[in-house]
Structure 1
Amino acid sequence: MKIFVLAVIAAVAVGANAQSFKCPPKDGQYEDSRQCDKYYECVDGEAIAKLCPDGLVFDPLIRKRNKCDQPFNVECGDRTELQTPQPKGPCPRRNGFFAHEDPSVCNKFYNCIEGDYTEITCTNGLHFDEYSGTCVWPDSAGRQGCKATENTLKDGFTCPKESQRDANGNLAVHPKYAHPTDCQRFYVCLNGVEPRDLGCQVGEVYNEESQRCDAPENVPGCEDWYKDDPAVPLGKQSKKQ
């Protein structure tokens, strides 16, 4: 009963505001001067006050019929007021992208559509930024109190914090590292933080100097890596890439 009464009061208030809004000569949709998720539908000079779905705001610059969009895509300016939130579950409003309810969990967020939500996990090493609705580097997100997410492979490898230069002397975006005991295997750190365990094709070993797969005889210490492997023909062992 209480919810019904509030809905009636809200409808009366919206109708009263519509009566005070003066439509421009051209029919269309126009923003309210104070409330960012409120707008007016003008037809033949008559205004009908409407609200965007909870969580979305009105963008008068969108050139399409539905002008309600995510808040991070819209410049509200002085239109600072919003409708009363309609939370459901972990969604503080019915629609939008929202941070995890635990402020220390920075790599997960919710995509809410009419109160139904999907939990999404950012790519390893990234944090959710509520001001852009995307996953960004922690420095860009600027969130405090986040739990450290440790990216460690099963064999214990983690990406070094020090930057790496490639064979041409350029800063490596996805640095590579030789495996300490397996000449055929090597690691790649995606964006410098997310480790992947990869391997060269049979007959080749990883050359740390050139940072590519190479013939065994070109890599000191790995010359005889395939010597006792019957699956690798002798000719292939010395085949260069």
Structure 2
Amino acid sequence: MLRYFFLVFIAGVYAQYKCPQGTGFFPDPEECDLYYICSKGSYEERLCPDGLVFDDSDPNTERCDIPANVDCKDRPILQEAKPSPGCPRANGYYRHPTDCNKFHNCIDGIPKEISCPPGLAYDDIISTCTWPKNIKRAECFKPRRETLEDGFECPEGETQTNDGRKLPHPTFAHPDDCQKFYICRDGVTPQRGSCSSGKVYNEDTFTCDDPANVPGCENYYSGKTSYAGAKKNN
């Protein structure tokens, strides 16, 4: 009996729907995947396949599309999902469970694995592949870290000056040569650097400086000692 009254109530709610125009396809005011076919004062209720929503941009066109292409903020309700392995809903595009470079194209609950072009990752919000730094998936934004022939690799994390200022392209001292140093472009790509003649790298100021201001490198040019050798002699 309770179910009977519930169905009567639901029927009464839908019976209140009035077509805004004589003929066309019109969205439900609350449910994004529900729409109506209106003709000559009457209407027929239709439901998009699970995972798709009704595109209300043109009342003369009957079209269900992926949520990324339709604005559903004013009608956020959706039908109950019909999930299957790899598919949160029966239709649509969904992230791969372990690989940021891949995604699933689900059709009637069957997933087809698709790979993004090299270097790109799948974005849930726009349902397409884009640069990892543009998406809100921290696990996918892993800057590539290169290693130079001598083994130097840019350290992870930010590098700051003594006054707390972040360095976008931090520099680091060479372990064996006072005149040389390393540059980390964007904090991840290592390059070699060298101070001009007469200068040595100062790791406290991140600049090239007079040898007298850098402990262990005072005699670098007079004796042409390495940084390591200078350290041992002091």
Q: TM-score range by the shorter chain?
A: 0.5 to 0.7
Seen in structure 2, the aligned counterparts of structure 1 residues 12 and 133 have a Cα distance that, compared at 3 Å, is farther
Give the match for residue 225 of structure 1.
none
Match of 1:56 in 2: 52
Q: What residue number does 2:90 align with? A: 94
Q: Match of 1:46?
A: 42
Deviations 1:81-132 (A, max 9, x none): 1110011221000110000123xx2111000111122101111211101111
Deviation at 1:57, TM superposition (A): 0.7
TM-aligned CA distance change 1:107 to 1:151, over 3 Å: farther
| 1:217 equivalent in structure 2 | none
Establish whether residue 143 from structure 1 lines up as the match of residue 137 from structure 2.
Answer: yes
Q: Which residue of 1 aligns with 2:114?
A: 120
Q: Which residue of 1 aligns with 2:220?
A: none
1:66 corresponds to 2:70? no
Alpha-carbon displacement from aligned partner over 1:12-58 (angstroms, at most 9, x marks no partner):
88754431101234211111111111111112211222211111111
Assess if the C-alpha contact under 8 Å between 2:121 and 2:130 holds in 1.
Answer: yes
Structure 1, unaligned runs of 5 or more: 1-5, 153-160, 162-241
2:218 aligns with none
Give the secondary structure class of the aligned counterpart of 1:54. Answer: coil
Larger CA Rg, structure 1 vs 2: 2
CA distance in 2 between counterparts of 1:10 and 1:37 reads 22
Alignment gaps of 5+ in structure 2: 147-153, 155-234
Q: 1:13 to 1:85 in 2, by over 3 A?
A: farther
Please say if 1:108 is aligned against 2:118. no
Q: What's the counterpart of residue 19 of structure 1?
A: 15
Code of the residue aligned with 2:124 in structure 1: it is E
Give the share of equivalent positions with the same residue, in percent: 40
Kept in 2, the 8 Å contact 1:14–1:49? The answer is no
Establish whether residue 34 from structure 1 lines up as the match of residue 43 from structure 2.
no
Tell me the TM-score normalized by structure 2.
Answer: 0.54
Letter in 2 for 1:54: D
| Separation (CA, whole Å) in 1 of partners of 2:37 and 2:126 | 29
1:140-180, Cα deviation, whole Å (9 max, x unpaired):
1231223859799xxxxxxxx9xxxxxxxxxxxxxxxxxxx
- Range with greater deviation from structure 2 (19-28 or 31-40): 19-28
Instruction: Tell me if structure 1 keeps the 8 A contact 2:96–2:102.
Output: yes
TM-score, normalised to structure 1, is 0.53
Contact 1:108 1:120 in 2 (8 A): yes
Please state whether the residue corresponding to 2:140 is helix, strand or coil.
coil
Say what the alpha-carbon RMSD is for the aligned residues. Answer: 3.4
Gap change, CA 1:69 and 1:151, over 3 Å in 2: farther
Question: What letter matches 2:106 in structure 1?
Answer: C
